[in-house]
Amino acid sequence: MSVLALGMSRPVEGPSIWSALVRCVARWLFALTGSSRAAEVGGVPTAELITRFQRGQPRAFEALYDRYKDYVYRVAFFVSRNREEAEDAVQETFLDVLKALPNYDVDGPARFETWLYRVTLNRARMRRRRKQPASAEWDDVEEQLERLPSPSSERPEAVFLDGERASSLWRAVNQLPEEHRVVVMLRYQQDLAYNEIAEVLGVREGTAKSRLYNAHRKLQQLLTV
């Protein structure tokens, strides 16, 4: 199973009966002193979740995880093009976040997402050095796009897009150089603003803007070919 192949660190073991007992008591106390239920994924704002977590409610982190796990996965998957690598990257990302979250400045200028995606990108990029080939799931994406129905009156938004166009766009995007590819993904997949893109990439906004512009031009070139 992928779990075994992950080679991740095993869960922390309880060293002794006593510490297990202490943990039990602590959890019970914690529950008594009013723990928070797992926040609804869609209900509580992220900032609130973070704050709750920072104040000592581990469940808030779980809620964050639930909320963002797929987004993180998508980023990692797009970058690494390999499911297993992406899953590992997600775990690592969230572990990093777990470690860093207690000191995260909720009222800071950047959004949580940008920071999160930045960490994800780092992790995914690090993993990418392992040069794993694209996994089957990656090819599935392209196949799926090809199977998109032709524009019909049933779905007005699909008027503009059909499978052929989609898959050729997809192929073109994936032919872009890494930098452009990532920036396009951030703009269209994650819907980040330019300054957020710049945050995630760790570059200036102007750089992000010009990268995007160049990415589009390149795409146009690739598409007309």
Q: What size, in residues, is the chain?
A: 225
Residue owning tokens 């032709």: 150
Which of 156, 97, 188, 86 lies closest to 127, judged by CA?
Answer: 86
Q: Tell me which amino acid residue 121 is.
A: L
Rule CB under 8 A: which of 88-107 touch other proteins? Answer: 90-91, 94-96, 98-100, 102-105
Member of 5, 22, 38, 41 binding other proteins (CB under 8 A): 22
Considering the complex, what minimum distance in angstroms separates the CB of residue 2 from other proteins? 7
Residue 150, both tokens: 């032709």
Member of 50, 61, 117, 218 binding other proteins (CB under 8 A): 61
Q: Classify the C-alpha dihedral 15-16-20-21 as positive or negative.
A: negative
Considering the complex, what minimum distance in angstroms separates the CB of residue 150 from other proteins? 14
Q: Based on the shown chain and the rule CB under 8 A, indicate whether residue 222 belongs to the binding site for other proteins.
A: no
Considering the complex, what minimum distance in angstroms separates the CB of residue 43 from other proteins? 19
Rule CB under 8 A: which of 191-210 touch other proteins? Answer: 193-194, 202, 209-210
Residue 182, both tokens: 């990532």
Q: Based on the shown chain and the rule CB under 8 A, indicate whether residue 181 belongs to the binding site for other proteins.
A: no
Member of 46, 51, 135, 189 binding other proteins (CB under 8 A): 189
- Span near other proteins by CB under 8 A; candidates 21-29, 41-49, 127-135: 21-29
DSSP for residue 144: H
Member of 116, 187, 200, 218 binding other proteins (CB under 8 A): 187
The two counts, helices (H) then strands (E), for the chain are 11, 0
Q: How far apart are CA 193 and CA 173, in angstroms?
A: 19
Q: Which is nearer to other proteins, 44 or 218 (CB)?
A: 218
Q: Which is nearer to other proteins, 25 or 178 (CB)?
A: 25
Q: How far apart are CA 72 and CA 140, in angstroms?
A: 19
Q: Based on the shown chain and the rule CB under 8 A, indicate whether residue 36 belongs to the binding site for other proteins.
A: no
Q: Based on the shown chain and the rule CB under 8 A, indicate whether residue 70 belongs to the binding site for other proteins.
A: yes
Q: How far apart are CA 166 and CA 144, in angstroms?
A: 10
Q: How far apart are CA 20 and CA 214, in angstroms?
A: 57
Considering the complex, what minimum distance in angstroms separates the CB of residue 131 from other proteins? 18
